[in-house]
Amino acid sequence: MSYSRTVTGTDGRMEGKQVLITGATSGIGEVTARVLAEQGAQVVFTARDRAKTERVRCEIRTAAGHDRVEFLMGDFSSQQQIRQLAEEYRDRFDRLDVLVNNVGAYFSSRAETEDGLERTFAVNHLGYFLLTELLLDLLIGNAPARVVNVGSMAHRGASIRFGDLQLKRGYGGWRAYGQSKLANLLFTFELARRLEGTGVTANALHPGFVKTNFGADARGSLIARIIWWTLTQFTISAERGARTSVYLAASPEVEGVSGKYFANCKPVEPYKAAHDLEVARRLWEVSAELVARSAGDGD
């Protein structure tokens, strides 16, 4: 049985579907792009390194047996580049059936983006929020459609620190990462509520602790190194880690299912903070304000 079949539990063919995946030149993003392309989807993925991206596109096209695999360049720490990426997507493609927000990063030391935002929050949460906002009309126009947000079990025990959202006081890499992953779930559930009746679903997932280069920067402090070493004892392959992403993007089993959190292709209960309606609404409002600042004259 092919990997494409085992991921979804069905043949899961995606012919005629248009999929956009962020951060897909390695790890679970690359596997997700390859498997969905193998299932017949036209796949567009985002990346930062052009030479590597060209190679990955060639490899996915070969594996899929067709040339309907394209890419867009953009750095998700820059809201201007996200806006340019979305504009280029709209110029080149007239539909979107599945958006997989996959790009993510961990940073052991605090730094700010060109937009003056703490970079973990900017990349991991606001990147999802802004790109989805910019392409939402395409998803609604092609309903039934899906938004798939890659989250993490790292949201457990985290909180949204509205009084210090940019973590200017007491920054810690895992604290920042946990906050961003909780934000992913709050965003997903609020998005699902706002999309009720449109035919567009929004779900989040925990891929498992995947054996990739993700988190290499986690090895800065002694405590971070200990945590990182402990976690690496339980890593899984990128192929296994991508299964739930592919399942939510392609499986007919989740047609119409929205506002859920999945692990191992099954719905699971997230940390209770992810269900706080007031926090979700407030985070949405704050996020909208933060991305509005980068809109510029042409938006």
Cis-peptide, bond into residue 144, ω within 30° of zero:
yes
Cis-peptide, bond into residue 267, ω within 30° of zero:
no
What confidence score (pLDDT) does residue 265 get?
97
**DSSP code at position 91:** H
What confidence score (pLDDT) does residue 9 get?
40
Residues catalogued as catalytic: 177
CA atoms 123, 85, 208, 195: torsion sign: positive
pTM of the model as a whole:
0.90
d(CA 4, CA 31): 10
Q: Which residues of the chain have pLDDT under 50?
A: 1-10, 12, 216, 297-299
What confidence score (pLDDT) does residue 298 get?
45
What confidence score (pLDDT) does residue 213 get?
53
What confidence score (pLDDT) does residue 10 get?
39
